[in-house]
Structure 1
Amino acid sequence: MYFNFPFLSYISIFWFFIAHYTNFYDVHRYTHYTRLIKLLLSQFFVFGLAFLSYFTLFREGEIISNQSLIFILIFSFVSFFKFFIFYVQKKYRNKNKDFKKIVLFGDINSAEKLELLFNDRNNFGYEFYGFFSRKEYDSKKYLGPMKEGFNFVVENKIEEIYCDPAHFSDRYLIKVRQFSEKFDIELKFLPESKAIYSKDFTLEYLGTVPVLKPKPLPFEKIETHFIKRVFDLIFSLSVCILVLSWLIPILWIIVKSESKGPLFFKQKRDGLDGKQFYCYKIRSMVVNDEADKISATKNDPRITKIGAFLRKSSIDELPQFFNVLFGNMSVVGPRPHINVQNEKYANEIDNYLLRNSVKPGITGLAQISGFRGEVTKKSDIKNRVRLDVFYIENWSFFLDVKIVVKTFLNFFNREEKAY
């Protein structure tokens, strides 16, 4: 009687929403049965409240027996299949199938600890290849010095790297993390006791062995992309309807009256994952062949009189709200550079290509911090990249709002590099 579309839609939405926050589907090879029981109880306790609220809001006064029966059926069905799939996977791994390939960066003591663990707990489904170390060891599991580790991981398609941080400098640990992110390899640390409660990591246990796993960055979470996209659509639609709808005809008359050429200027830029897209602007220069090779400079003779005002006020950037609607850009993010600059800085500046891990933005943290416009010295681009990476690693919705507000306030200030 209750299996209608509104009811199924309601419980499905709430189920996945609750599952996200209870980590109901966060089950690993090393997860214990007791963990499954805790997940089921926490999931169904909250889901039960949402389930019963449906009848309170929309079916008040009807018989409660059917409600209880439906809830019991859902609980039994989900519990049975969760345990059944978990059991089948464990049995499958016990037959030496579906093993994850792992290596250790550390010393022989940590290697022996991991080897013993994975030999005793074969149902975890891990194949321990061996370890790389700064010292040479007379051991079958010793694979070589550290400098050979990265090549071995790539060539043998290793899926997880365990690292003992007690034996390496912070600089080398950063290098290992960057390598694992680049090749999409899971990285875990065998912590010292003082590091167990680090805010940047989550503590897990492989049997009795504590393991630290780096917390996911904001843009590795689905909800981040959802929140940003909703904000982008609402904000850019508002600008297009309330501002661009009447401003573009006026700009068309003014720009065309001063110089020949189209109203809009489009140029290929790097987008998400380095994919090229056409970035739109109001044309602020005379038509020239150097636009794709040389960015604007102070007192640039190519800039028209009205173009100077458009660039000073950033009005020339407003058509990029169309890029946001198309999904090429975001309201806030790292500013996209011309292709010539990308080729130059990718080889010169550390972490430059990390900027491509998110959509480029109309404005960004670097721009409101004074690092917009022309790059006159190397420190300019270094600081711009530093702030872009900080934004990517520390994103929040309120940070986006702060950047948008600061960008609007900067409209009334005379910025030195607004040309």
Structure 2
Amino acid sequence: MSGLHQEKFMGTAFIAAEDATVVVPYAGLIGGQVARPENAAAIRDPRKRMLDVVVAGTMLFFSLPVMLVIAVLVRRDGGAALFGHSRIGENGRSFRCLKFRSMVSNADQVLKDLLERDEAARQEWVETQKLRRDPRITPLGRFLRATSLDELPQLLNILRGDMSLVGPRPIIQAEVERYGDNITYYYATRPGLTGLWQVSGRSNTSYARRVALDSAYVRHWTFWKDVVILLKTIPAVLRHDGAQ
């Protein structure tokens, strides 16, 4: 397959795609039920959920003062402090993914107007679902995104069981078809606050590569790899690796 090459992550080989969607021999649904790929049972290890609750609960407790300050600043910037956007979770169930609001209140209209008049921006959006120069983001929002502070409310999603500390990047319904048969891997676990995509360039990573990383994470999951990804996330956030 063109555009594919083998890479290594923590001693385990996985396929990474630069310009092509990686196709695996598993359908997303069988008889109306979510198909389970290999390693799906392993990733349901109770230690993973225990780690989520202990770490997320501790982080939430110590970050509450910071979150209160951010909430006040975002409110002063105009609009609601929190933003809940529909994301697809384990087994294809949707949930409200929480973030501190980092965009203007009429973000949808601003995006629509931009894509209608700017061909380059429209092409970038189609390819990556992101914009390097996004006019929707407020000055405060840029700081929150660069430091990942906008994602602190997702600790609540983790405690509620919507998300995990480590997992695939949360996606919207419109992105499901772009995963192709790889959606089977995405459905096998909860999306993560961090993941292979987080420690591999984040916004600098192509969409096809993100799909490959999400699939590889599930295929080769072990509890200790989750721990390693969490440890790798700390310097990645401090360096603002690919943050946008």
TM-score > 0.5, shorter chain as reference: yes
Whether the 8 Å contact between 2:203 and 2:243 is mirrored in structure 1 is yes
Could you tell me how far 1:296 is from its partner in structure 2? 4.5
Whether the 8 Å contact between 1:297 and 1:374 is mirrored in structure 2 is no
Give 2:146's aligned residue: 312
> Given the alignment of the two structures, is residue 230 of structure 1 paired with residue 56 of structure 2, yes or no?
no
**Gap regions ≥5 residues in structure 2:** 1-23, 32-36, 113-124
Give 1:286's aligned residue: 104
Whether the 8 Å contact between 1:296 and 1:374 is mirrored in structure 2 is no
What do the CA deviations read for 1:288-338 (whole angstroms, capped 9, x no partner)?
Answer: 251898755212111111110100111111111100000000000001122
Whether the 8 Å contact between 1:355 and 1:389 is mirrored in structure 2 is yes
Alignment of 1:180-259 (within 5 A): 183=30, 217-221=38-42, 224-243=44-63, 245-258=64-77
Moved more, 293-302 or 226-235: 293-302
**Counterpart among 228, 231, 240 of residue 405 in structure 1:** 231
Give 1:65's aligned residue: none
Provide closer, same or farther for how the CA distance between residues 220 and 287 of structure 1 changes in structure 2, counting only shifts above 3 A.
same
Three-state SS of the structure 2 residue aligned to 1:310 is helix
Give 2:194's aligned residue: 363
- Number of equivalenced pairs: 200
Give 1:268's aligned residue: 86
Give 1:337's aligned residue: 171
Three-state SS of the structure 1 residue aligned to 2:168 is coil
Residues in 1 aligned to 2:107 and 2:210: alpha-carbon distance in whole angstroms:
27
Residues in 1 aligned to 2:238 and 2:40: alpha-carbon distance in whole angstroms:
32
Three-state SS of the structure 2 residue aligned to 1:231 is helix
**Counterpart among 194, 200, 203 of residue 373 in structure 1:** 203
Provide closer, same or farther for how the CA distance between residues 300 and 221 of structure 1 changes in structure 2, counting only shifts above 3 A.
closer
Give 2:34's aligned residue: none
Alignment of 1:16-55 (within 5 A): none
Task: Report the structure number with the largest CA radius of gyration.
Answer: 1
Provide closer, same or farther for how the CA distance between residues 341 and 411 of structure 1 changes in structure 2, counting only shifts above 3 A.
same
**Gap regions ≥5 residues in structure 1:** 1-173, 185-215
Could you tell me how far 1:353 is from its partner in structure 2? 4.1
Residues in 1 aligned to 2:196 and 2:54: alpha-carbon distance in whole angstroms:
21
Three-state SS of the structure 2 residue aligned to 1:362 is strand
Give 2:137's aligned residue: 303
TM-score (norm 1): 0.44
Root mean square deviation of aligned Cα: 2.5
Provide closer, same or farther for how the CA distance between residues 337 and 373 of structure 1 changes in structure 2, counting only shifts above 3 A.
farther
Residue 203 of structure 2 aligns to which amino acid in structure 1?
G
Provide closer, same or farther for how the CA distance between residues 296 and 261 of structure 1 changes in structure 2, counting only shifts above 3 A.
farther
Residues in 2 aligned to 1:360 and 1:313: alpha-carbon distance in whole angstroms:
20
Three-state SS of the structure 2 residue aligned to 1:311 is helix
Residues in 2 aligned to 1:241 and 1:305: alpha-carbon distance in whole angstroms:
27
Give 1:382's aligned residue: 208
Which contiguous aligned blocks of 4+ residues in structure 1 show a shift greater than 6 angstroms? 291-294
Alignment of 1:61-100 (within 5 A): none
Could you tell me how far 1:354 is from its partner in structure 2? 2.4
Alignment of 1:34-183 (within 5 A): 175=25, 178=26, 183=30
Whether the 8 Å contact between 1:335 and 1:364 is mirrored in structure 2 is yes
Whether the 8 Å contact between 2:67 and 2:152 is mirrored in structure 1 is no
Residues in 1 aligned to 2:240 and 2:230: alpha-carbon distance in whole angstroms:
17
Whether the 8 Å contact between 2:107 and 2:136 is mirrored in structure 1 is no
Whether the 8 Å contact between 2:168 and 2:186 is mirrored in structure 1 is yes
> Given the alignment of the two structures, is residue 418 of structure 1 paired with residue 243 of structure 2, yes or no?
yes
> Given the alignment of the two structures, is residue 323 of structure 1 paired with residue 153 of structure 2, yes or no?
no
Residues in 1 aligned to 2:203 and 2:146: alpha-carbon distance in whole angstroms:
10
Residues in 1 aligned to 2:30 and 2:218: alpha-carbon distance in whole angstroms:
18
